[in-house]
Amino acid sequence: MNISLQNKKALVGGSSGGIGKAIAQQLAASGASVTLMSHSEDKLRDIVEALPKETGQTHQFLVVDFNDFNGFQNSISNYFEHNSVDILVNNTQGPSAGSALEKNVSDYQEAFDLLFKTVVFTSELALQQMIAKNWGRIINVASVSVKEPLSYLALSNTIRAAVVTWAKSLATDVGKYQITVNNVLTGYFDTDRIAQLNAKKAEQLGIAQSQVRKDMESKVPLQRIGDPIEYGYLAAFLASDNAAYITGTNIPIDGGLLKSM
């Protein structure tokens, strides 16, 4: 199966590292022109320069701060005044870890702005041109925790669940325009985020970080942590015409970690 995204334009959030970077790289490798979006200008510039550039491909980056919603609104609105996208990958960094008892109302409001409002606002702008073209792909990077909540990620559990239910509603509304909306439920991947969470857990338990990782791997039926490039393959497929009949879904990519159906 050949995945071709030639003549398609993509906007990928959180793409200065980890899963977002891997998605951007694979979309570019499949022929799309990609705009990377994150807060780290130096990292974004280096990644853009290294992306493949075949005939007709142009890549760029957009510096945003997902934690500053008002500033984000201004940046992304200005971007869409001069650009349109066919493929939108909604991805941001995760909110701080902690249990429900450790978080208060203001923490949930900050997480709502970070994980929900940025996604909805960006999607609203992207949809204007997608509807006009009668084609589009929206891919939301979510988490397996929306099905099986993780006690130490109360904020992420809560707000990402809101994102996936919103996405289901949106998929129903925009299907007639041949626009698909799908959520990818992320398991354990070898990223800086996982390393940070493991370091905190190791400190709390008084054990080595390597032991935390080993315990994590043992919970996955495939007995390993995912490589972000594997995530990129799934995103490229969902962005392509090959996935034109897949919408409104929650697709786990977790090595079999989820126990529920």
Q: Is 204 a member of any domain?
A: yes
Q: Is 260 a member of any domain?
A: no
Residue of 181, 205, 196 whose CA lies nearest to 131: 181
CATH number of the domain where residue 100 is located: 3.40.50.720
User: In the prediction, which pLDDT does 58 show?
Assistant: 96
Q: Is 1 a member of any domain?
A: no
Domain holding 208, by residue range, is 190-225
What confidence tens digit (pLDDT) does each residue in 137-190 have?
999 999 999 999 988 899 999 999 999 999 999 999 999 999 999 999 999 999
Residue type, 154: A
Q: Say which of 152, 177, 188, 245 is annotated catalytic.
A: 152
Q: Is 144 a member of any domain?
A: yes
Q: Is residue 76 located within the same domain as residue 196?
A: no
**What per-residue string of b and e applies to 164-174 under the rule 16 or more CB within 10 Å gives b?**
bebbbebbeeb
Question: Cβ(90)–Cβ(67) under 8 Å?
Answer: no
**What per-residue string of b and e applies to 12-22 under the rule 16 or more CB within 10 Å gives b?**
bbbbbbbbbbb
Q: Measured at the alpha carbon of residue 156, what is the angle toward residues 169 and 234, in degrees to the nearest 5?
A: 65
> E strands within the chain?
9-13, 33-38, 60-63, 87-90, 136-143, 179-186, 250-253
What is the average per-residue pLDDT within 206-233? 94
Q: Is residue 42 located within the same domain as residue 160?
A: yes
Question: Cβ(31)–Cβ(57) under 8 Å?
Answer: yes
User: In the prediction, which pLDDT does 194 show?
Assistant: 85
DSSP symbol at 96: P
What is the average per-residue pLDDT within 233-252? 98
Active site residue 245: no
How many independent structural domains does the chain possess?
A: 2
